[in-house]
Structure 1
Amino acid sequence: MKTYLQKGTSVSIPAPKAISSGDLVVAGVLAGVAGHDATVGAPVEVHLEGVYRLGKVSAQAWTVGQAIYVTPVSGLCTNAPAAGAVFLGAAIEAAANPSGTGVVRLNGAAPAAVFA
């Protein structure tokens, strides 16, 4: 197919801020995990699929299969969608309240719209 470019499990985009490998990267409705460090504006490979242990809002308990969002300002995952939050994927392990991390299967695609 002449228009096909790549599978899309990861994409290279300009880093919206200074990024460390493993950080959540949010650019508009695109959200994923950085594959390497990058300075602002430098290309960063963002992984859009896979299962990752990510930082979460500590004061939340998660259940398996629960929808997980990322808040661009804090960079933390949350099960409570709020204005500006971007759908990220689903929890694949229960997470206690309190706990600093949770396990998320990334959605692999940009959502239809940002939760408002």
Structure 2
Amino acid sequence: MQNYIQKGDTITFTSAEAVASGQGVLMGALFGIASTSAAAGAPFEAALSGVYDLPKAADAIAAGDRLYWAVDADVVTTTAEGNTLIGAATEAAADAAAYVRVRLNGVA
């Protein structure tokens, strides 16, 4: 195909804020995990698919639950309203757990 660009599992993001490697980042409708640290305004690669342990809100989560990114708190939540769908839980996580294992959906 002459119009093929790339596979798209990893793309270049630019964030208004500094990011750390492994941090969840929302760029418009795209959610990714920063592959490297970057200063504010600097480009960096972000993975759009895969399974990652991400910080979570105080929600009890069941395996298979839809998960959303709460940009105001930089955590995963089960609350859809006002948040962006990022994927689904691959394992259950108790209310008190600090992290949840998330399979990113890779779509906008």
TM-score range, shorter chain: over 0.9
Count the aligned residue pairs.
108
Q: Which aligned pairs between 1:100-115 and structure 2 lie closer than 5 A?
A: 100-110=98-108
Task: Give identity over the alignment, percent.
Answer: 39
**Residues 20-39 of structure 1: pairs in structure 2 closer than 5 A:** 20-39=20-39
Correspondence 1:1-116 to 2 at 5 A: 1-57=1-57, 59-83=58-82, 85-110=83-108
Deviation at 1:7, TM superposition (A): 0.1
Q: Structure 1 stretches of 5 or more lacking a match?
A: 111-116
Task: Please give the TM-score of this superposition, normalised by the length of structure 2.
Answer: 0.96
CA distance in 1, matches of 2:50, 2:16: 22
Higher strand share: 2
TM-score by length of 1: 0.89
After the TM superposition, which parts of structure 1 deviate over 4 Å for at least 4 consecutive aligned residues? none
1:108 Cα shift? 1.2
Kindly report the root-mean-square deviation, in angstroms, between the aligned alpha carbons of the 2 structures.
0.8
Gaps in structure 2 of 5+ consecutive residues: none
Letter in 1 for 2:38: A
**8 Å Cα contact 1:16/1:27 also seen in 2:** no
